[in-house]
Chains A and B, each alone.
Chain A
Amino acid sequence: MEQFLQQLINGLAVGGIYALIALGYTMVYGVLKLINFAHGDLFTYGGYLGLTLLTSFALQGHLGTFGAIAILTAMVMGLVGIMGVVLERAAYRPLRESPRLSAVVSALGASIFLQNTLMLIYGARFQVYPEGLLPQVAVSLFGLQVPLIRILVVLASVVMMTALYLFVQKTKVGTAVRAAAIDQGAARLMGIDVNKVVSLVFLIGPALGGAAGLLVGLYYGQVNFTMGWIYGMKAFTAAILGGIGNIPGAMVGGLLLGVIEALGAAYISIAWKDAIAFCVLILILIVRPTGLLGERVAEKV
């Protein structure tokens, strides 16, 4: 039982990160029907930018640990968000009216470009966050010793996801995003500036991805320029699992994928962990082709 709870917590911590990244995929897909393959790399930029800002401004010394992390998160989210907007202008908007395949190829190209730019700027070796940045305290939870940071990682992702959900569901701008997701033409006729909505989506999605990159850097202490690929693939899977285009679906899918991986590793085989996770994905898609929370949307003609 103790082992089970421990693995459950391991899974939730990883799943929280997957879910944050998955939100970026799902938002972009919801509005543009485009898989933004460069999203994983924007996540990596979050990790690297966080490191650079942290070490160059010596934030920690001025503001204390948590103040520093709050400011850092805001800065990283802002910067990665702006990168997302620029990416959309440069790589996707010119192809908006082209066949969907062109945009996908452009996305893959952007991914390769971003990854290798990062390597040329920072070098190919691993970059390491300063040691002893976060307090190494363990909290007793149901009789288990859980590192405090693990809990904070899960909490941070849940808070960001909830904020996003409320924003999209309850605000006027959020309504515009949903309208553009359903039918861009009709939304335009209702006086919604669809280009602005798309820019907004490319601001928020990458900002959350950047925040996830920062969390990974802070928690695991190490970033490398290829890490976006694996996280991107897993998060993309999570988005499909939950129902792509659906925000609560991305959250549920991310957390679920993390937990399935951890429990699969614990009770079946570590080597088969990914195979198990993908088998579950296939089974779920056979039963519910639109994902767990995905809605059946009428085909556009």
Chain B
Amino acid sequence: MKRVMGLAVALGLLASGPAGAADTIKIGLMAPMTGSWASEGQEMKRNVDLLAEQANAKGGLNGKKIEVVIEDDGGDPRTASLAAQRLTTKGVVAVIGTYGSAVTEATQNIYDEAGITQIANGSTAVRLTEKGLKHFFRTCPRDDEQGKVGAATIQKMGAKRIALLHDSSAYAKGLADEINTILKANKQNVVFFDALTPKEQDYSAILTKLKAANPDVVFFTGYYPEAGLLLKQKKQMGWNVPFMGGDAINNPDLVKIAGKDAAAGFQFLSPPVPKDLDTPEAKAYVVAYKQKYGESPASIYGVLAGDGFLSVTKAIAETKSTDADKIRDYLVNKMKDFPGLTGKLAFNAKGDRVGELYRVYKVDKNGEFVLQPK
């Protein structure tokens, strides 16, 4: 009986596969639906789902419905390369994602060889767009841009002894190196440069060592789970040094993990958070998002995934084609000041987003992220 059913299911799949493919345009979403960045992945899915729904309600794309095909990259390069291979066999014309730089890097060549446009939403490592891949784009800014803003902010604070801490990931190490190079070039005193092990709970050994180096400011370039724990344990030690961080710390869970008291005063660099987006498109979008999910978008990276979706669907609609070369031509040469959710969208020949995005944010006493004046 089982075998008969299995056969029936297999036949059913065969029958429905090609028939379904003809009347939809498939857009892939590769996101960390599980693993330690799962909350980011679920945000990405919510944004892309909502935008696809909106587009389909308006009649879809070139007369066809858009179908979002999701694969889980687990926030892990190995899982991601398998996810990418699965997506390439499912007939997607473009892929949105993903969040972590190392994870994206594991999939770039797979999509490139398959001739599929990839638009990453959170991968800021510089080298991703320096490889000359024709079909890779990203809606987030690059770490060298972030490094400049970071170094400038540290110098503006007037810190004499600077500590840099990263977590050995492609993104965090890249950003820390970037800042370190700029600071050294400006003859600043970097007294500490080292890496912690991510995903642990206890960072007191690292904090004790940091404290012994006696810095005026500590810049941590890693992700929000570790940043939250560092802030909390720093507070428990009774140590009052100002902490700063990069854009991977922009997640409301930071305050949940650290506690409001410990997070207060923490500063980080980031593209503007969803509530500070002030274009009419963004405001209308946040309202629609609230209607569907009952809360505002929590993470900017989810919204940036939405921008990736908007860019690629715009390109397909304008060129009336799903050919990756034509999409590239449109994104690089023809798209100028397209109003996205996080501001105007345009890409340069490397696939990087054009324009300045970084702002400085500070956590206030109530745990809110407050945009600092430029």
Listed in ascending order, the chain A residues whose CB lies under 8 Å from chain B are 3, 6-7, 10-11, 13-14, 116, 119, 123-126, 128, 131, 136, 138, 145, 147, 216, 220-222, 224, 226-227, 229-231, 261-262, 265-266, 269-271, 273-274
Q: Is there a chain A Cβ closer than 8 Å to B253's Cβ?
A: yes
Q: Are B202 and A10 in contact (CB under 8 A)?
A: yes
Cβ contacts under 8 Å, A125 to chain B:
38-39, 253
From the candidates A123, A147, A221, A271, name the one contacting B259 in the complex (CB within 8 A). Answer: A221
Number of A-B contacts (CB under 8 A): 94
Q: Is there a chain A Cβ closer than 8 Å to B236's Cβ?
A: yes
From the candidates A13, A124, A126, name the one contacting B202 in the complex (CB within 8 A). Answer: A13
Cβ contacts under 8 Å, B295 to chain A:
none
Q: How far is the CB of A15 from chain B (nearest CB, A)?
A: 10
Q: How far is the CB of A284 from chain B (nearest CB, A)?
A: 21
Q: List 17 additional contacts besides A7-B209, A271-B195; criterion CB under 8 Å.
A: A10-B204, A14-B205, A119-B38, A123-B39, A124-B34, A126-B39, A126-B256, A126-B257, A136-B236, A220-B229, A222-B228, A226-B36, A227-B201, A261-B205, A262-B205, A266-B209, A270-B194
CB neighbors of A among B224-246 (8 A): 225, 228-229, 232-233, 236-238
Cβ contacts under 8 Å, A3 to chain B:
208-209, 212
Q: Are B202 and A220 in contact (CB under 8 A)?
A: yes
Q: Are A11 and B205 in contact (CB under 8 A)?
A: yes
Cβ contacts under 8 Å, B130 to chain A:
none
Cβ contacts under 8 Å, B238 to chain A:
138, 145
Fill in one digit per residue for B194-229: 1 if any A CB lies within 8 Å of its CB, else 0.
111101111011101100100000000000010011
CA distance A145 to B204 in the complex (A): 13
- What does DSSP make chain B's interface, helix, strand, loop or mixed? helix
Q: Is there a chain A Cβ closer than 8 Å to B35's Cβ?
A: yes
Fill in one digit per residue for B256-278: 1 if any A CB lies within 8 Å of its CB, else 0.
11011000000000000000000
| Chain B interface, number of residues (Cβ within 8 angstroms) | 36
Cβ contacts under 8 Å, A262 to chain B:
205
Cβ contacts under 8 Å, A126 to chain B:
39, 225, 228, 253, 256-257
Listed in ascending order, the chain B residues whose CB lies under 8 Å from chain A are 33-36, 38-39, 41-42, 168, 194-197, 199-202, 204-206, 208-209, 212, 225, 228-229, 232-233, 236-238, 253, 256-257, 259-260
28 A-B contacts (beta carbon < 8 Å): A7-B208, A10-B202, A10-B205, A11-B205, A13-B202, A119-B34, A124-B33, A125-B38, A126-B228, A131-B259, A131-B260, A145-B238, A147-B236, A216-B201, A220-B201, A220-B202, A220-B229, A221-B232, A221-B257, A221-B259, A224-B225, A227-B201, A231-B201, A265-B206, A266-B208, A270-B195, A270-B206, A270-B209
